[in-house]
Amino acid sequence: MLKEHPQYTGILTITPKGDLFCDSLRTGKALHLTDRRYFQDALNSKNPLAIEPAFGRLTGIAVLQVAYAARRETGEPRFVLLASLNLEKYMQLRAMSLPRKTAVIALMDGKGTILTWHPDGEKLRGTSIADSPLFRFAREHYGEEVREDIEVGGVSRIWAASALPEFPEAGLHVLVGVSKKDLLATANRNLGQALSILAIVSLLVFAGAWALVELGIRRQAARIIAAVARFSGGDFGARIGKPYPRGEIGNLMTALDHAFELTQAEHQRVVQTAEALARTAEVEAANKELESLSYSVSHDLRAPLRHIQGYAEMLGEDAESTLSPEARRYLDVIAGAGREMGELIDDLLSFLRMSRAEMRETRVDLGALVQNGIGDLEVSTRGRNIVWKVSPLPAATGDRAMLKQVFANLLGNAVKYTRPKDPAAIEIGCAGEEDGRVVLFVRDNGVGFDMQYANKLFGVFQRLHRADEYEGTGIGLANVRRIVARHGGRVWAEAAPDQGATFYFTLRPSESADRP
């Protein structure tokens, strides 16, 4: 079997006590796995279990293992089968379907270590790119189908990031990069096929390997192999089909057909994404030009605005004794509008800078940021009765200046919209975790808002309250959303009219942080 499938480094049979019983490589080395958590998980699971990529103890090769416990009729485990996939050989096979010479396909673990890189990846294999834009892109969009223009090695490519949907616990990042020039010339359908096959082939072949070791099931194994071969060859309508035998083999066939259906749908979505890349590349370029134009216009508006404000001030001083009350009111309106325009320009420039600024990730003490933010509001809150409640907050990984801006906007809004309340209550805390990220919140007992308008809350220039009641430019929350998104998190709000509001957002915790 290993001759027919060279992408495997070996198949091991382990006793329920964790001792090596059979080794297809015949290394003669002793192996004891009872202390391995994945071995214990396999003993307790009825399904194949994917294990985080590692370097094999016997071969020294980077492999992805699948463990499966074969059981007796009583349910007790007979043995655990470990099938090890040589990721290097496996990706060499997948690289054959790359559309052009400029295309690359890479596989990384969750820590940013390159497991494979094709073509010409010998020098990169085993190296860490944890601090690179490419890994940050893959990490922030794990499990999504997204694309981004990133330059690697002097070549600008459109990268598609994906996870292996059948084995999310393995934490693998799959990246396919195609040069922008080639991508715009031809919509890359092969990209969709490569990603979708990559997403399920481990489950299919490992499950087939497990089935083959059982005696007396050759006919059923032949049906499995035939369906897998057709599917891997590009026939995404291939199915094993009924009748399914009783027992584990029948369960396996049913699961494989279900995986075929899910992956066929996944493949169609990836193909559509690949075709859309060519159409969206020009849109992305236009958006960048529009953003640059907005930045330039906002910056250039400063000079004429200063002139308007200056002339209005001089006119008021020079002609103060001759101006009528109505004329004086006009000048006051001009001055007030100028100040509002200046604030709007400042906020817009800050918003645009935030999308351009390079992120400098470090360990950030969120509790200290909150205390600094409260201190910055001391002058504007003087004379008000505000009850602050700050719960212990964990340290996070991110750009300190950007996260300071997030708290500045959220705390400033809480202070602003609690003005009618006496006392005003503002609480900052941690609400647990979501997908490995800490969930933080800022809650107040202010005027709140109607949730039917929540979809407008984080848009640029969107306001849910009248400007003459509550000052602002409508950019602050848009800035919050952009900063949190750049950190790979999300932001949302819950509120009710006159019942206050709570704003939630997620951040990646610092590895050394103590969770509250």
pLDDT in tens, 450-474: 888 777 787 766 666 665 566 766 7
Q: Residue 111: is its pLDDT beyond 60?
A: yes
- Lowest average pLDDT, out of 28-42, 179-193, 374-388, 479-493, goes to 179-193
HSE-up (13 A, CA, CB side) for residue 511: 3
Q: Residue 189: is its pLDDT beyond 50?
A: no
Q: Residue 482: is its pLDDT beyond 50?
A: yes
Q: Residue 2: is its pLDDT beyond 70?
A: no
pLDDT range class, residue 414, cuts 50, 70, 90: very high
Structural contact between residues 61 and 8, judged by C-beta atoms closer than 8 angstroms: no
Q: Residue 504: is its pLDDT beyond 90?
A: yes
| Higher per-residue confidence, 234 vs 214 | 234
- The secondary structure of residue 468, as a DSSP letter, is T
pLDDT for the residue numbered 398: 93
Mean pLDDT of 412-433: 93
pLDDT for the residue numbered 353: 63
Sign of the Cα pseudo-torsion (506, 507, 511, 516, in order)? negative
DSSP H or E run through 43: helix 37-43
pLDDT range class, residue 87, cuts 50, 70, 90: confident
Write down the CATH number for the domain with range 361-507: 3.30.565.10
Mean pLDDT of 217-233: 68
Cα gap 278→281, rounded to integer Å: 5
Domain assignments of the chain as residue spans, ordered by start:
301-356, 361-507
List of long-range contacts for 210-217, beta carbons under 8 Å, 24+ apart: 210/48, 210/68, 210/70, 210/81, 210/83, 210/252, 211/249, 211/252, 212/1, 213/11, 213/13, 213/70, 213/81, 214/70, 214/249, 217/249
Q: Residue 92: is its pLDDT beyond 80?
A: no
Mean pLDDT of 478-492: 90
pLDDT for the residue numbered 193: 46
- Of 64, 28, 69, give the one whose Cα is nearest residue 45: 69
Mean pLDDT of 187-194: 44
pLDDT for the residue numbered 100: 59
pLDDT for the residue numbered 205: 43
pLDDT for the residue numbered 202: 40
Cα gap 507→478, rounded to integer Å: 17
- Lowest average pLDDT, out of 114-123, 219-228, 439-448, goes to 219-228
pLDDT averaged over every residue in the chain: 74
Q: Residue 54: is its pLDDT beyond 50?
A: yes
Q: Residue 188: is its pLDDT beyond 80?
A: no
For residue 440 the two structure tokens come to 């933080």
Q: Residue 358: is its pLDDT beyond 80?
A: no
pLDDT for the residue numbered 211: 40
Cα gap 174→202, rounded to integer Å: 14
pLDDT range class, residue 251, cuts 50, 70, 90: confident
Structural contact between residues 460 and 331, judged by C-beta atoms closer than 8 angstroms: no
- Of 477, 374, 471, give the one whose Cα is nearest residue 427: 374
HEC string of 333-393 equals HHHHHHHHHHHHHHHHHHHHHHHHCCCCEEEEEHHHHHHHHHHHCCCCCCCCCEEEEECCC
pLDDT for the residue numbered 53: 75
pLDDT in tens, 304-316: 666 676 767 777 7
pLDDT range class, residue 40, cuts 50, 70, 90: confident
pLDDT for the residue numbered 373: 93
Q: Residue 239: is its pLDDT beyond 70?
A: yes
pLDDT for the residue numbered 427: 97
